[in-house]
Amino acid sequence: MTEKNENQEQVMEENEAVEETIETTESSEAVEEIVEEEVAEEVDPVAELEAKLVAEEERYLRLRADFDNLKRRSQLDREAQAKYRAQTLLTDLLPVLDNFERALSVEATSEEAQNMKKGIDMVYRSLVEATTKEGLKIIATEGEVFDPNIHQAVMQESNPEQESGIVLQELQRGYQLKDRVLRPAMVKVNE
């Protein structure tokens, strides 16, 4: 029995050695996993910071582009405001110009009326000169091709001597401020 005991002891020792090897292998695998997790944790903060940096750089570039666009729009608005600063005043003066033209179209019979008409004409010319300096232009009408952007057709007439779509008569003068229409010209157009 001693042999049997010895064999049992040997088998037990071998089992213990195998168990120790298994435990050592498991513990070394666990250690490797822990080390890998620690390395992964160390890499993750760096990757996370790099991702945040990229996101912040992109955000900065977008904000910079928005700021540049706002600056450009503000500049264009200031330029337009300077270009058309007299628009309201000139629009209010259009009826005054119309009234001067009506007054000048009246026939003066007496010398006193002729002198009055000369004075009105001088005031009218100085007013026209001042408005022209600000960029006010009279819209061309008679004999021109009808343009709905600058003309307003209020009547049509058939004239075989003219082409179709030609302005035959100006009924009310139209005005432009630089490239904007302040008031379209009211016209009679050939059919």
Angle between helices 111-133 and 87-105 (to 10 degrees): 160
> DSSP letter string over 50-85?
HHHHHHHHHHHHHHHHHHHHHHHHHHHHHHHHHHTT
Taking the complete model, does pTM exceed 0.95, yes or no?
no
What is the reported pLDDT for 184? 95
Which candidate, 168, 159, 160, places its Cα nearest to that of 141?
168
- Evaluate if residue 32 carries a pLDDT over 60: yes
* Per-residue confidence (pLDDT) for residue 12, from 0 to 100: 74
Question: 110-127: per-residue pLDDT in tens?
Answer: 999 999 999 999 999 999
Instruction: Single out the residue of 162, 84, 97 nearest to residue 129, CA to CA.
Output: 97
Tell me how far apart the alpha carbons of residues 59 and 125 are, in angstroms, rounded to a whole number: 59
* pLDDT for 15 beyond 90: no
pLDDT at 53: 93
Q: pLDDT grade, residue 21 (50/70/90)?
A: low
**Helix, coil or strand: residue 86:** coil
CA 84 to chain centre: 19
